């Protein structure tokens, strides 16, 4: 079946309408997109200003190496387009709604063409408008009217070829994942490694060091040569041969990328996939047997199921890492200063407590999903479900939080006795946080799956549960934080004459009493809700 413009337009228009309905139905996503547009507005103004002043500097001859500069700019645009294309390909572009049904009525080439048209309309048009405005600004600065169309053509070729290249790379990896069991298992490891690299680049502010190898490799290629189109349109010296060669190669590559992407997509969509093997269930069985030695069998079974779900679909627990973003700025400050501040262990302790409680216990009933009926038919389901979810989070969060708080406390200016009491308080609050979350999750459950990414859905705790849980954890942790805060302790000591040791112990005792009381009430309520659960 050949690709026709009318079918491509229909598929693209339908995809755009579907995306708009999804966005419009999610108020939070709609607000986030609006805020993102406001966030990018200063960047757009900076691009226009840079284009104008860059053209002025080029006309004035202030640029020592104009060819090298425009080549690096061209490579940067191409790289960002490739990264964005890879992100779109992995997140949602290659997983359209009702894909199997669409492939029974139209060819894969037609569907790919329609999806790319939707991408061009959603992202290409805004980029094209910014590119056109940047071309006009560069033309005004350089004093050459030909610079505007030259800039527009160069940006268009760089962005489109970079996007399709990133999409093709993701297709290669996806094809390997659906055919190789080893690559499929290593997928999570690869993305964790990429995330760590990304965070290290942000923390160390080493974008230049990351891009330098790409500049060295790509500036002498047609990708860099395309940037010299901007020079040929002005009075600056540029190589017509290299600019023309880059233009021709980019156009030819753009033409060839369509069949390549189409073929790779067909291999992915029509692949049979990997057949499950009996050995795939062996780790869960072995894990359950080890846990049964430490915990009662029903509770050990719930723990094993929680850990297995987390291992197979880690994105379903992505909400639990939100507090880690609060640590980005302190981590950067710690690396820059070379020392650990006295308040950093406190922040790590609170984040560890919050994460542990939110991992598996903030939606104790909804987390069961389709197996909830069979779970409720088991003997004493409340004890098994509540105890199992608490144990699943505590066994992971308790050692990690204790180790992080103790290590950072020793490296910080805090005295050793304060490190000991803070670590002890963190251990107690970690256990209590998981218990506190059970009652909140039972009172404010969520049973339906929601989108956790562009193409993934999972059952996550409700927004009200998040809000109430955060408030309660903040209140029960406040005495411990106040008692170990160097600033507050100094003020209280100088005002009331209370020794800092007494203040820290008082904070530990008050937080422990509050956490234990809230945790006990929460567990009893959650167990009662589970035991008396009725389906509508």
Q: What would the DSSP string read from start to end of 120-175?
A: IIIIIHHHHHHHHHHHHHHHHHHT-TTHHHHHHHHHHHHHHHHHHHHHHHHHHHHH
Question: If residue 381 lies in a helix (H) or strand (E), which one and from where to where?
Answer: helix 381-411
pLDDT grade, residue 289 (50/70/90)? low
Q: Looking at residue 452, what is its pLDDT?
A: 60
| Distance set, CA 318 to CA 90, 322, 458 (Å) | 17, 8, 10
Top-confidence residue, 402 or 190: 402
User: How far apart (Å, rounded) are the C-alpha atoms in residues 530 and 498?
Assistant: 46
Q: Looking at residue 428, what is its pLDDT?
A: 92
Using DSSP's 3-state secondary structure scheme, residue 377 falls into coil
User: How far apart (Å, rounded) are the C-alpha atoms in residues 486 and 479?
Assistant: 13
Residue 197 pLDDT exceeds 60: yes
Q: Looking at residue 282, what is its pLDDT?
A: 45
Q: Looking at residue 278, what is its pLDDT?
A: 47
- Cα angle for residues 30, 34, 39 (degrees, 5° grid): 145
Residue at token pair 């710690």: 334
pLDDT grade, residue 16 (50/70/90)? very high
Instruction: Calculate the average pLDDT of the chain.
Output: 83
User: How far apart (Å, rounded) are the C-alpha atoms in residues 465 and 235?
Assistant: 63
Residue 359 pLDDT exceeds 50: yes
Residue 286 pLDDT exceeds 80: no
Residue 283 pLDDT exceeds 50: no
pLDDT grade, residue 159 (50/70/90)? very high
User: How far apart (Å, rounded) are the C-alpha atoms in residues 489 and 501?
Assistant: 9
Question: From its phi and psi, is residue 380 left (phi > 0), alpha (psi between -120 and 50) or beta?
Answer: left
The residue among 381, 359, 361 whose CA lies nearest residue 372 is 381
DSSP structural state of residue 276: P
User: How far apart (Å, rounded) are the C-alpha atoms in residues 425 and 153?
Assistant: 62
Residue 12 pLDDT exceeds 60: yes
Dihedral over Cα of 498, 502, 507, 513: its sign: negative
User: How far apart (Å, rounded) are the C-alpha atoms in residues 174 and 190?
Assistant: 13
Q: Looking at residue 376, what is its pLDDT?
A: 63
Top-confidence residue, 275 or 105: 105
Tokens describing residue 531: 């035991």
The H helix count followed by the E strand count for the chain is 23, 2
User: How far apart (Å, rounded) are the C-alpha atoms in residues 14 and 8?
Assistant: 10
Q: What is the mean pLDDT of residues 239-261?
A: 91
Which residues are CB-contacts of 89 (< 8 A; sequence separation ≥ 6)? 166, 167, 170, 171, 174
- Burial of 185 from C-beta contacts in 10 A (0-12 / 13-18 / 19+): exposed
DSSP string, 492-535: HHHHH---HHHHHHHHHHHHHHHHHHHHHHHHHHHHHHHHT---
pLDDT digits (tens, 9 = 90+) for 97-126: 888 888 888 999 999 999 999 999 999 999
Angle between helices 125-142 and 147-179 (to 10 degrees): 150
The residue among 340, 360, 466 whose CA lies nearest residue 404 is 340
Contact 183, 273 (CB under 8 A): no
Share of the chain above pLDDT 70, in %: 87
Q: Looking at residue 292, what is its pLDDT?
A: 66
Beta strands in 213-293 (DSSP E): none
Of the candidate ranges 187-201, 309-323, 345-359, 492-506, the one whose mean pLDDT is the lowest = 187-201
Residue 21 pLDDT exceeds 70: yes
User: How far apart (Å, rounded) are the C-alpha atoms in residues 407 and 401?
Assistant: 10
**Alpha carbon 437 to chain centroid distance?**
24
Q: Looking at residue 204, what is its pLDDT?
A: 66
pLDDT digits (tens, 9 = 90+) for 28-59: 778 878 888 888 888 899 999 999 998 888 88
């Amino acid at each position: 079946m050949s690709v026709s413009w009318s079918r491509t337009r229909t598929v693209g228009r339908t995809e755009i309408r579907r995306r708009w309905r999804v966005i419009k139905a999610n108020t939070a996503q709609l607000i986030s997109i609006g805020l993102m547009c406001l966030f990018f507005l200063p960047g757009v103004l900076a691009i226009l200003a840079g284009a104008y002043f860059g053209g002025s500097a080029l006309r004035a001859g202030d640029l020592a190496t104009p060819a090298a500069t425009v080549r690096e700019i061209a490579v940067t645009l191409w790289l960002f387009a490739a990264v964005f294309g890879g992100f779109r390909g992995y997140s949602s572009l290659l997983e359209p709604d009702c894909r199997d049904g669409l492939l029974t009525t139209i060819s894969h080439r037609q569907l790919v063409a329609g999806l790319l048209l939707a991408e061009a309309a959603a992202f290409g048009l805004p980029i094209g408008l910014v590119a056109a405005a940047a071309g006009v600004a560069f033309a005004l600065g350089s004093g050459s009217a030909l610079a505007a169309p030259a800039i527009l053509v160069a940006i268009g070729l760089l962005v489109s070829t970079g996007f399709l290249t990133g999409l093709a790379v993701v297709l290669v990896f996806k094809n390997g994942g659906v055919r190789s069991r080893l690559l499929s298992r290593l997928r999570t490891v690869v993305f964790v490694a990429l995330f760590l690299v990304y965070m290290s680049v942000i923390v160390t502010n080493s974008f230049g060091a990351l891009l330098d190898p790409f500049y060295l490799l790509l500036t002498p290629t047609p990708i860099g040569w395309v940037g010299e189109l901007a020079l040929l349109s002005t009075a600056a010296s540029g190589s017509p041969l290299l600019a023309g060669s880059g233009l021709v190669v980019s156009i030819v590559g753009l033409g060839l990328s369509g069949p390549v992407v189409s073929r790779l997509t067909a291999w992915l969509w029509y692949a049979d996939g990997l057949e499950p093997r009996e050995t795939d269930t062996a780790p869960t069985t072995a894990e359950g047997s080890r846990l049964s030695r430490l915990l009662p069998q029903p509770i050990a079974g719930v723990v094993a199921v929680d850990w297995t779900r987390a291992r197979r679909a880690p994105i379903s627990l992505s909400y639990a890492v939100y507090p880690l973003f609060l640590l980005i700025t302190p981590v950067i400050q710690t690396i820059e200063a070379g020392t650990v501040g006295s308040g950093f262990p406190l922040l790590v302790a609170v984040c560890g407590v919050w994460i542990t409680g939110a991992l598996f216990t903030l939606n104790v009933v909804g987390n069961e999903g389709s197996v909830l009926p069979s779970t409720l038919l088991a003997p004493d389901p409340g004890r098994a479900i509540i105890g199992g979810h608490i144990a699943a989070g505590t066994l992971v969060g308790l050692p990690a939080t204790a180790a992080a708080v103790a290590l950072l406390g020793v490296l910080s200016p805090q005295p050793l006795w304060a490190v000991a009491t803070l670590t002890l308080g963190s251990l107690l609050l970690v256990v209590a946080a998981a218990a506190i979350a059970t009652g909140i999750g039972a009172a404010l459950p969520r049973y339906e799956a929601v989108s956790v990414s562009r193409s993934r859905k999972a059952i996550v705790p409700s927004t009200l549960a998040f809000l109430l849980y955060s408030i309660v954890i903040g209140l029960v942790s406040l005495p411990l934080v106040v008692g170990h805060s160097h600033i507050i302790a100094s003020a209280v000591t100088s005002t009331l004459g209370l020794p800092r040791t007494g203040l820290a112990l008082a904070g530990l005792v008050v937080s422990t009493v509050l956490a234990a009381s809230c945790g006990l009430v929460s567990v009893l309520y959650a167990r009662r809700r589970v035991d008396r659960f009725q389906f509508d």
